[in-house]
Structure 1
């Protein structure tokens, strides 16, 4: 059943919009000098100062309207768990409904007009470590559920706002959040500028290695904490979670998942993945590169369980599948339902498969992607598939001091610059942004305003909970 229709502008593109997805302008490839001049000219057409203005929401549209929209189609039994996780703080609320900010951004009167592939949900907790095919630990964006072609600064706006909200949450204060924005944007602009000197192939091959970031970390206390994370990453694989998630059957020798309701359970009749799983994984196999298909053939599926994940993803159809080779060596895949963006009606081209949309966006923006990244369909639902916990490392915000927060901001700016340069044109973006002073102030102003709006939205959400309009799960949901 299609979701309720939400009021959107007539179009996302305007006469002033420029498509950077093919690295061309008016049919010709952009040289570096032409790209810089194009960005500078765009700055005159659409002054950067206009990016600081928040949109006004259409009449009768509130945060709860968008929350209800995002809840449509989710599993009813899991909606209270999502609400519980979102209710923890203004930051978990911000993370829990990315459609809300995308909706606000599309209604903003002005954007840069520089369109390229973006993350779409670029907050600071969506950065972290992940494995390259060579088993090196890389750092970058690690969630692309909302990826789309849109103005590049939408990623910057979501990221800077997250620094202000998160800084307050962990007790560092707004001034620390604003300084973190300055650090992040300085790193972003500096690295974009460095990318201009590289060829397209050099940008494509470039990777942000976590060990290099560690070497560049000046604060010794922070370096020690990061080193512990980096050193433990190689042990975070399918085998490492077997004792916690599974137990072995004495008769068959196969492992199966240990139920832990309401967060982990085997599908019952009529639930997702209760049937036709062989066909599902055969369709998934066809989306992998040929050599990965052959590798995948060395495993067989021995168990599947539904699993609650994340904050914003709670309630969508998510599961994990245990595969074992002939010697019982494990491979655990995660299947996440991929839903359409709230802005899908404005896309110039219809998206054939939402899982494919996420995969293509991730492959375009990440330095290296999971070798088992693919997609499939089951019961008309689209899914994204990837490995569970393949050297994935996230940074815990709780306990961060100012020094750690600033170092992390530097890393996020570096990683986002590489993602944007890989997907778009660094020279055009630098031409538009300038050297940094003006855009830093503009985005700090925006972040302060949107953080206040987010707090107001969060309080409205909490009032709806208090009034009994939104049901909450218990503490076991956290």
Structure 2
């Protein structure tokens, strides 16, 4: 499709069925968790937006697009960026959710991020002038970072990451302080801390996950019957050093843990591992389903990716694309298939944390939007089409106007969807723990 920069402002509102998309998603999820998903989405326009990646992908499919695909997050809203530990035990700030990752036009990710800036800014009662400035500055940061990366070699782009130098370049003092405080909080989030909070001592030095329905429950026997085979499959997908490391651990307990907003209703498990000295490690095993960018956005995927998915499942897609998009990735990443479902594996609470946008003052909110956009550009710069994106963007002025105009219109459309959702009857009184 050949389009101009200005065409990217076009938002098609005909042929939509947003609540039908949610119903279609719910039909494939654990029925007893659907009320919890609906309750979490109903909390605010921003939490609703967090759960609507599929709706937005379907809307993208009707709009003109650049036709320049890159490896995309698929759900690059403000709450899907955060901190985590690198293998070197330093902290990185990066994208942290890849369930919807796939190849897609570059602007789909950017539009999702900028729309989240607008919805999130309004949801936290910021002046409209602040919201619009943050949206504009986010697009500027994306353009400037991607353009600058075009001067680097592929190897230099690969090794780049969001560090203190980038913080000084893009952020003010208040914004840097917010990120530093969030990073400090994230450093406290470890497997040992999670074990203290989520498990109980059952004697002989052993621990067990504490039941807290519906958020934490133990798994059924039929799931446990597949554990040994699934674990062997995961080990084969992990690197050899991780296989050696995990040989020091035995599996103690498995629990089902409800996480996020959009993911509620998919299967997610925590696995408690213990070494011979009583040290703990918690792994998260999360179901991977078809990317919304492909299923609802209808964007065709390259054969190299579909061949991997056909053989190894959607978990292999999530793991592979996460490794491309992140500067550093969890060394425990791996994937498996069990009972006809795909999963990916990662470490749980390894210095992971996010920035709560409601706690940011206006200057810091603006800076945070800039930081997220710079990180997104770094991720897109890894794709071989990055130079084509830079050429398409040109000077950046028309792109800024088109992306911000589209995102403002979509923020209003999402608010209409949210209001329709609240009166639709889809929202029931959520289960305890919602």
Q: Same fold (TM over 0.5)?
A: yes
Alignment match, 2:51 = 96
Alignment match, 2:42 = 87
Q: Give the one of 184, 190, 193 matched to 2:147.
A: 193
Alignment match, 1:131 = 85
Whole-angstrom distance in 2 between the partners of 1:387 and 1:372: 6
3-state SS in 2 of match to 1:294: helix
Whole-angstrom distance in 2 between the partners of 1:192 and 1:214: 16
> Could you tell me whether the CA contact under 8 Å between 1:181 and 1:440 is conserved in 2?
no
Alignment match, 2:267 = 317
Please state how far the C-alpha of 1:153 moved relative to its aligned partner: 0.6
What does 1:48-67 align with in structure 2 at a 5 Å threshold?
Answer: 48-58=5-15, 61-67=16-22
The question of 1:303 aligning with 2:253 is answered: yes
3-state SS in 2 of match to 1:133: coil
> Could you tell me whether the CA contact under 8 Å between 2:189 and 2:351 is conserved in 1?
yes
Alignment match, 2:136 = 182
Alignment match, 1:39 = none
Whole-angstrom distance in 2 between the partners of 1:424 and 1:129: 26
> Could you tell me whether the CA contact under 8 Å between 1:84 and 1:473 is conserved in 2?
yes
Alignment match, 2:179 = 226
The question of 1:261 aligning with 2:216 is answered: no
Q: CA RMSD in A?
A: 1.8
Alignment match, 2:68 = 114
Query: Structure 1 residues 228, 296: CA separation in 2 closer, same or farther (over 3 Å shift)?
Result: same
What does 1:237-386 align with in structure 2 at a 5 Å threshold?
Answer: 237-250=190-203, 252-270=204-222, 273-342=223-292, 343-344=294-295, 347-348=300-301, 349=303, 350=306, 351-352=309-310, 353-386=313-346
Please state how far the C-alpha of 1:472 moved relative to its aligned partner: 3.1
Whole-angstrom distance in 1 between the partners of 2:221 and 2:230: 17
> Could you tell me whether the CA contact under 8 Å between 1:63 and 1:100 is conserved in 2?
yes
Whole-angstrom distance in 2 between the partners of 1:284 and 1:159: 32
Please state how far the C-alpha of 1:242 moved relative to its aligned partner: 1.6
Query: Structure 1 residues 269, 475: CA separation in 2 closer, same or farther (over 3 Å shift)?
Result: closer
Please state how far the C-alpha of 1:223 moved relative to its aligned partner: 3.5
Whole-angstrom distance in 1 between the partners of 2:359 and 2:205: 43
Structure 2 unaligned blocks of 5 or more: none
Please state how far the C-alpha of 1:224 moved relative to its aligned partner: 3.3
> Could you tell me whether the CA contact under 8 Å between 2:213 and 2:433 is conserved in 1?
no
1:403-451: CA deviation from partner (whole Å, max 9, x where unpaired):
0111101111210111000123432222111222211111111011101
3-state SS in 2 of match to 1:249: strand
> Could you tell me whether the CA contact under 8 Å between 1:222 and 1:404 is conserved in 2?
yes
1:16-57: CA deviation from partner (whole Å, max 9, x where unpaired):
4xxxxxxxxxxxxxxxxxxxxxxxxxxxx4211111011234
Q: Give the TM-score, by structure 2 length.
A: 0.93
Alignment match, 1:418 = 378
Query: Structure 1 residues 118, 294: CA separation in 2 closer, same or farther (over 3 Å shift)?
Result: same
Bigger Rg over Cα:
1
Q: Give the TM-score, by structure 1 length.
A: 0.85
Whole-angstrom distance in 2 between the partners of 1:246 and 1:213: 39
3-state SS in 2 of match to 1:305: strand
Alignment match, 1:453 = 413
Please state how far the C-alpha of 1:217 moved relative to its aligned partner: 6.9
Structure 1 unaligned blocks of 5 or more: 1-15, 17-44
Please state how far the C-alpha of 1:227 moved relative to its aligned partner: 2.3
Whole-angstrom distance in 2 between the partners of 1:448 and 1:284: 43
1:100-152: CA deviation from partner (whole Å, max 9, x where unpaired):
000110121x1101012111111111111122111111111110100111111
Whole-angstrom distance in 2 between the partners of 1:430 and 1:216: 20
Please state how far the C-alpha of 1:222 moved relative to its aligned partner: 3.8
> Could you tell me whether the CA contact under 8 Å between 1:239 and 1:330 is conserved in 2?
yes
